[in-house]
Chains A and B, each alone.
Chain A
């Protein structure tokens, strides 16, 4: 347990380096200035609808997953590239503890960075709509996004050299493009898992409902189901990452 906390703390600290945090906050927080720029002369209902639409259409589809992807692939990928993995691996610590610690750290760091963006857009949306509860659903969805992305992209960073590029390809091709046309893969789509959690808690206007239905396809709305799926992904990821740490060659020739 001590090893788990030590690893989680040190990896989280590394992932939340100043340059990366600022850069990704610029990305995840970019919805806030848009809201403030568009607000003058528009009704609070219009702004609430716009906030929800842009959160689903831009935040959950691109901004948040990209930020979480960058953080999560760096969790072990950076260690591999910078040749610091021996410091972590040559310790009397089970590979499962290392795997769990690193994935937890990636989820925590992702949530801090997404959370900063969510708070910025939440504050801006609350100011222009007068509804201070408007961002709760986005914050919960960001937590689901953080866990699911860490589960998927931490092992990817361990085994693929350009994991961020590969992950971006996955997001754009699998999640955004194929997910829209092939119903069978929608249930496993992180984007749709996140939106299903968000939609369960958000106050949706009829326009928003139309957007959400279009995005989710066959996926049911429900925060419980989304949390369960993210947790299942995380458990599978801990097992896969632990296995990789135990059996693969993790330093270059």
Chain B
């Protein structure tokens, strides 16, 4: 039995706004995306994967910039390649740094608003620029902008028509820590408002901070989808590292070793680190063992519940 989680997306499709069905995309002999089934709904979803995993290709197919070689992509129930009216509800931030250098930030965002059929494009542009903290630099030419400022201008252009779906391909590239934190807060806020926010990244810590759900890709395939903890739980036969803070670590460790779900134990003066193949069973046994050994347990935490560990695991499985 393999420990890899099922490469399908278990999201309830009833609230899905962006759906990939048996989606494949190849360029000549090179398969960039292979038979991906996944869906995205309200909230922030992180699209994770190492460089070359197929994230950008998947986003471009979903957005209608590329035609699928097989399968289907749909936004709000429609194929964006055929029904361009759907773009009224979609904002897209491409991975590339390029912008229209001959325009000012304000003109770029106003132009995007006007083409997206926003009635008062000027006001909408001002709001979007203020949202990404570019209000003061709005009249400067994009040519003179730093990479981070260009990213924010692109985000403003994607937001200006108040879209229901935002597809963001590495939107934090080139931003400084303050800008990054602000953008993450913005995406979390937009997701909280019920919009579908898809953010691709290979920086796990960023996704960990903003996404409630992740879709992981490896080698063009969907490796996993779900909440971080659900993904971790799905890796049921992979030993998990659990830390127990207690006043009697040696006694408690000796007692817990009696359970056949404990693979190894490391004891330190403040507690125990246990590698277990069944975190659920261990969780139940901790309380019993603590009572039996008269130990006081002050904290129990999963040491490897981060996206980093999940992702490392997924890559190794592939």
Footprint of B on A, CB under 8 Å?
A: 2-3, 6-7, 10, 13-14, 17, 82-95, 246-247, 249-251, 253
> How far is A89 from B116 in the complex, measured between Cα atoms in Å?
11
Contact indicator B98/A82 (Cβ below 8 Å): yes
Decide if A86 touches B112 in the complex (CB within 8 Å): no
Q: Do the beta carbons of B32 and A2 come within 8 Å of each other?
A: no
State whether B92 touches A249 (Cβ < 8 A).
no
Alpha-carbon gap, A54 to B289, bound state (A) = 101
Once A250-B65, A251-B66 are accepted as A-B contacts, the answer to whether A83 and B116 lie under 8 Å apart by CB is no
Question: With A6-B115, A92-B86, A92-B116 given, is the CB distance from A87 to B67 under 8 Å?
Answer: no
Report the minimum CB–CB distance from A80 to chain B (whole Å): 11
A6 near B63 (CB under 8 angstroms)? no
Please judge, given known A-B contacts A86-B92, A92-B86, whether A253 and B57 are in contact too, CB under 8 Å: yes
Residue among A17, A89, A90, A249 with most chain B CB within 10 A: A90
B102-A17 in contact (CB<8A): yes
Cα of A86 to Cα of B168 in the assembled complex, Å: 12
Taken together as a complex, chains A and B put the C-alpha atoms of A14 and B98 apart, in Å, by 14
Which chain B residues border A82 with CB–CB below 8 Å?
Answer: 98
Q: Which residue of B lies closest to A3 (CB)?
A: B115
Contact B30–A253 (Cβ < 8 Å): yes
A95 to B102, CA, bound (A): 23
When the two chains form their complex, are residues B94 and A86 in contact, meaning their CB atoms are under 8 A apart? yes
Select from chain A the residue with minimum beta-carbon distance to B93: A86
Q: Is the CB of B100 within 8 A of A10?
A: yes
Which 7 interchain pairs have the tightest Cβ spacing? Answer: A83-B96, A92-B88, A253-B27, A91-B115, A83-B98, A92-B87, A82-B98
Kindly name the residue among B87, B98, B112 whose own CB sees the greatest number of chain A CB atoms within 10 A: B98
Closest-by-CB residue of A relative to B25 is A253
B251: interface (CB < 8 Å):
no
Complex CA distance for A95 and B117, rounded to whole angstroms: 15
Please, which residues of chain B bring their CB within 8 A of the CB of A2?
114
Residue from the list A6, A14, A250 in contact with B100, Cβ < 8 A: A14
CA distance A250 to B61 in the complex (A): 11
Residue of B nearest to A89 (CB): B65
Contact (Cβ within 8 A) A92 B112: no
Verify if B157 is at the interface (C-beta below 8 Å from A): yes
- Indicate if the CB atoms of B115 and A93 lie closer than 8 Å: yes
In the bound complex, residues from chain A placing their C-beta under 8 Å from that of B60 are 251
Contact of A92 among B65, B84, B96, B99 (CB under 8 A): B84
Can you name 22 A-B residue pairings with CB atoms under 8 Å? A2-B114, A3-B115, A6-B111, A10-B111, A13-B102, A14-B100, A83-B94, A86-B92, A87-B112, A90-B63, A90-B65, A90-B80, A91-B87, A92-B115, A92-B116, A92-B117, A93-B84, A246-B82, A247-B67, A249-B67, A250-B65, A251-B94
Q: Knowing A86-B94, A253-B27, A253-B32, say if A91 contacts B84 (CB, 8 Å).
A: yes
The verdict on A90 contacting B85 (CB below 8 Å), with A13-B102, A14-B102, A84-B100 known, is no
Residue of A83, A91, A249 with most chain B CB atoms under a 10 A cut-off: A91
Enumerate chain B residues within 8 angstroms of A88, measured Cβ to Cβ.
115
* A247 to B79 alpha-carbon distance, docked (Å): 12
Q: Known contacts A87-B100, A90-B90; can you find 9 more A-B pairs with CB under 8 A?
A: A13-B102, A83-B96, A88-B115, A90-B87, A93-B84, A251-B60, A251-B65, A251-B66, A253-B57
State the Cβ distance, B23 to closest chain A Cβ, in Å: 14
With beta carbons under 8 angstroms apart, the residue of A85, A87, A246 that contacts B157 is A87
Cα A174 to Cα B225 with chains together (Å): 56
CB B85 to nearest CB in A, in angstroms, measures 5
How far apart are the CA atoms of A124 and B114 in the complex, in Å? 44
Q: How far is the CA of A89 from the CA of B86 in the complex (A)?
A: 12
Q: Does B64 contact A (CB under 8 A)?
A: yes
In the bound complex, how far is the Cα of B82 from the Cα of A247, in angstroms?
Answer: 9
Q: Chain B contacts of A13 at CB under 8 A?
A: 102
